[in-house]
Structure 1
Amino acid sequence: MIKKRSAIALSLIIAFTMLLAACSGGTGSNEQAGANGKKGDKQTINFIHWRGEDTEAFKSIIAKFEKQNPDIKVDMTVYSSGDPYANALQAMILSGEGADVFVSAPGAQFNNLLKSQSFEDLSGSPLLENFTPELIEAGKSDGKQYALPYQLVYNVPVYNKSLFDKLGIQVPSDWDGFLAMCQKLKENGITPILYGYDVSPGQLINTLVMNNMPDKDTFTKFQTGEVKATDPWFVKTLEQFKLLVDKGYILKNATGTKYEGALALFAQEKGAILAAGSYAMATIAKQNPNIEQGLLAPITTSAADMKYEGIHTTTFMLGVNAKSKYKEGATKFIEFLTKPEIASEYANATGQLLTVKNVKYETKELGIQGQWSSKKTVFQPRLINTNKKIETALNESLNMIVSGTSVEKTISTTQAEIDRNLTK
């Protein structure tokens, strides 16, 4: 009986000790007390983004950061791009929890976060010296630097150079040449353009409009009513795209094909052109290392009337949550990402060009993308539009055409949606 009572007493002592330990905050969220300056405590900063394909690269970089900064732990959370990410980010920002370092896209998403005062002002921070100044303009507002674009992307369709060489096809320099190229591909049993309904519209619309729109700021005027979907240049753009659809140059069942499926078809060499951008090249190379890739933008005018050869975007814009309790640690993590040796590791592991100075690019795909730095490109038109609903309506006009809707109906539907969402 005495032994039994002793065992019970010992059990109660152990349980009570464990309860005290739990209440003392030895693990979990109270590890973050380091932000209050207590020596020896560890703070945890949350890093959220949308690039799941970069997870392993970031894990390696985070391990290096934590080794150099033993008082800081980085928790990374990845969401699907688009609305899932935007919705999760907005909830975290509003709550003030779960997003110390986050990324945003330029345009509407950046503008909405700016309005809600989500960004810590990074103006004057020494880490700005690590960037090429003209490549981080998209993260500025009223002369202040709120976000730091990390990636330089060319939103230009990817093409199978090996296939082109085999068929003796040259990259076309005008609209007639583009149509002739598509016809030759089709005659050889190859789908000219692979298209994923969830990503391709927002990518392809840029190259389709770049030489048709009156000036590089045209898309901002959709939201004020100064420019309409009924304007001749936009009608022409949709008519040209409709021609591609009607001639069978766009993937059949495109409205039922997601981007990942279209990319897989391209990697399997079941199509000649993927309506995406340079960001896709590294993933394609992983799926099929034997493909020789290039970037090819449809020129919708004559060669003489061409203004731009392609589209560029500075995106994956790093920011510090203005409501974060751990701004110092968050800023330190961003600064670590911009060190040339770390940025080089990230670039070569993920196949992304960066806005950071002194990055050493080593992969074949990055070498191809780097050649576009000497070409005449314009910043992605749809992203200078800061009204998300109007941006979506313009993108969806391509999906309507793909689904068989007439140009006239598409124009009227698109303009009606724009009218409902005009910026007051």
Structure 2
Amino acid sequence: MKRKSIVLLSLVLACSMALAFAAGAKESAGAAQEVKTIKFYGSDAQYNKNIIAKFEAENPDVKVQIVPIDFDNAEQIIKTGIASGNPVDVSFFWGSQISAFVSSGMALDLTPYLTADNNAWMNTFVPKYIDAGKIDGKYYAVSYQPVIETLFVNETIFAENNLQVPTTWDELLVVAEQLKQKGIYALGNWSGQNHQLLVFAYQVMANNGVLEQAAAGKLPFAGSNEAPGLRTALELLRDVYKKGYWYPGEGALTATKDQVQAAFFQGRIAMLFDAGSNVGQYEKDAPFKVGVAKFPLVEKGGKYGVNVVTNALFVPINAAHKEEAVRFIKFYTSEAGQSETMATGRLPSIKAKQDKIDNKLMQALMNTTTGDNVVSYRHMQNISPEVNSYLQNDLVGAVCAGESIDSALAKLEALRVKAMGK
């Protein structure tokens, strides 16, 4: 009887251990299968889908859901999500304009991640590109692509009309008049990005030695001691507009992106202002030979300003999955991620890919950023969200439409004073 009891007890213990083991195994399996889904506010283009597929293959515990971006209203949409307490986990924005979120405490400080392991992640970047997302010594945005403001050139037009691509403003005016006589607009640019044309202002500032101060909002934009450059740029752009060199003439200030790009592809525009990040699109879609050129210099022999605007990614301060979000950004800016963006004609931001650009048009674009006379700058939009909005949406258009330059600069100066607190 005693032996039977011992056997029975042994069987009970064995069953209990088996059940416990099974439960533990089931619990472990459940934990291993736990998958977190992060939301990514970005383009739903194929290169992003390719990056996500590769990331998920290496990170089976994370799924990435693309929330298609509305570039025209990105800032407001992102801020609304953060304020509601339900933001995306990773968001696209322009690195050099990240102050729009930092100033209101909406962006996660990514410095600890970038500087971990003796700056291991940060050291993979070209310094001027990663620094585009730095404010007061801290990094809030990780740049994955430089957005070089440039001129896309219809080289066929210039060749057929025996003209040279202008390198100075005076040359531009001469060429523009010759093209006008042939029914061709010299310049194309669309509503919403007229702030790009202020590259002339940055050139003047660079040649007067005040570029860094002015771009940081430390010099007045109006008055007897105003920073040089803005007035000059506005005068030049107003002149081009009034002379009808800017497509499509009177409607140039409200022309849409689709309208302007269509006119460029139709051979009605000789030179198109746009971000260099679109070089792949123009090379693929244009039915003529496309080239890239530097913005004309205000004066020959002067310094040339090159912006450090970048496409970047950041993590909202109250994102639900911060660690997974950072892991995704790390992969996005790795060699594997950058290979996908480069395949679509986009320039890389990491050192390992800088010398692997084999596309001639992309190489030409990079060459516009080099030279002894090249000076890098950050946009004045960083001064404050209000300054950013006025520069991007109002300043150039208002002056070309008839507002006095004094009045327009006074409005900008009021915004600068408010932002600087004095």
For residue 38 of structure 1, the aligned residue among 28, 31, 44 is 31
Q: Determine if the alignment matches structure 1 residue 112 to structure 2 residue 101.
A: yes
For residue 246 of structure 1, the aligned residue among 242, 245, 253 is 242
CA distance in 2, matches of 1:416, 1:127: 40
Task: Assess if the C-alpha contact under 8 Å between 2:222 and 2:410 holds in 1.
Answer: no
Instruction: Describe the SS at the equivalent of 1:358.
Output: helix
Task: Assess if the C-alpha contact under 8 Å between 1:387 and 1:423 holds in 2.
Answer: no
Worse-matched range after superposition: 104-113 or 385-394? 104-113
With over 3 angstroms needed to count, the CA separation of the structure-2 counterparts of 1:87 and 1:346, relative to structure 1, is same
For residue 379 of structure 2, the aligned residue among 375, 378, 382 is 382
Map Cα deviations across residues 223-279 of structure 1 (whole Å, 9 max, x no partner). Answer: x56332773643222222222122221121112311232122112221011122312
Task: Assess if the C-alpha contact under 8 Å between 1:216 and 1:378 holds in 2.
Answer: no
Q: CA deviation at 1:380?
A: 4.6
Q: CA deviation at 1:90?
A: 1.1
Structure 2: stretches of 5+ with no match in the other structure: 1-27
Match runs of 1:29-178 below 5 Å = 38-49=31-42, 52=43, 55-82=45-72, 84-113=73-102, 115-121=104-110, 122-125=113-116, 126-178=120-172
CA distance in 1, matches of 2:179, 2:420: 42
TM-score by length of 1: 0.80
TM-score by length of 2: 0.80
CA distance in 2, matches of 1:265, 1:380: 31
Task: Assess if the C-alpha contact under 8 Å between 1:151 and 1:354 holds in 2.
Answer: yes
Structure 1: stretches of 5+ with no match in the other structure: 1-33
Percentage identity across paired residues of the two chains: 24
Amino acid at match of 1:155: E
Task: Assess if the C-alpha contact under 8 Å between 2:140 and 2:314 holds in 1.
Answer: yes
Q: In angstroms, what is the RMSD of aligned CA positions?
A: 2.8
Worse-matched range after superposition: 372-381 or 150-159? 372-381
With over 3 angstroms needed to count, the CA separation of the structure-2 counterparts of 1:228 and 1:38, relative to structure 1, is farther
Task: Assess if the C-alpha contact under 8 Å between 1:221 and 1:227 holds in 2.
Answer: no
Match of 1:190 in 2: 184
Task: Assess if the C-alpha contact under 8 Å between 1:320 and 1:331 holds in 2.
Answer: yes
Q: CA deviation at 1:384?
A: 5.7
Instruction: Describe the SS at the equivalent of 2:147.
Output: strand
Match runs of 1:408-423 below 5 Å = 408-412=406-410, 414-415=412-413, 423=421
Match of 1:210 in 2: 203
With over 3 angstroms needed to count, the CA separation of the structure-2 counterparts of 1:167 and 1:48, relative to structure 1, is same
CA distance in 2, matches of 1:67, 1:423: 50
With over 3 angstroms needed to count, the CA separation of the structure-2 counterparts of 1:104 and 1:78, relative to structure 1, is same
CA distance in 1, matches of 2:265, 2:377: 25
With over 3 angstroms needed to count, the CA separation of the structure-2 counterparts of 1:405 and 1:146, relative to structure 1, is closer
Task: Assess if the C-alpha contact under 8 Å between 1:106 and 1:383 holds in 2.
Answer: no
Task: Assess if the C-alpha contact under 8 Å between 2:154 and 2:288 holds in 1.
Answer: no
Amino acid at match of 2:365: Q
Task: Assess if the C-alpha contact under 8 Å between 1:158 and 1:296 holds in 2.
Answer: no
CA distance in 1, matches of 2:212, 2:377: 10
Task: Assess if the C-alpha contact under 8 Å between 1:157 and 1:274 holds in 2.
Answer: yes
Map Cα deviations across residues 324-380 of structure 1 (whole Å, 9 max, x no partner). Answer: 33222212211211221331221222x221211222334343222122242343445
Task: Assess if the C-alpha contact under 8 Å between 2:184 and 2:269 holds in 1.
Answer: yes
CA distance in 2, matches of 1:80, 1:86: 9
Map Cα deviations across residues 263-313 of structure 1 (whole Å, 9 max, x no partner). Answer: 221122210111223123222233325332212302122x13x111x4232
Task: Assess if the C-alpha contact under 8 Å between 2:201 and 2:232 holds in 1.
Answer: no
Amino acid at match of 1:354: P
With over 3 angstroms needed to count, the CA separation of the structure-2 counterparts of 1:134 and 1:184, relative to structure 1, is same
CA distance in 2, matches of 1:403, 1:374: 35
CA distance in 1, matches of 2:236, 2:137: 39
Q: Determine if the alignment matches structure 1 residue 237 to structure 2 residue 230.
A: no
Task: Assess if the C-alpha contact under 8 Å between 1:340 and 1:357 holds in 2.
Answer: no
CA distance in 2, matches of 1:393, 1:141: 21
Match of 1:356 in 2: 350
With over 3 angstroms needed to count, the CA separation of the structure-2 counterparts of 1:392 and 1:328, relative to structure 1, is closer
Q: Determine if the alignment matches structure 1 residue 344 to structure 2 residue 339.
A: yes
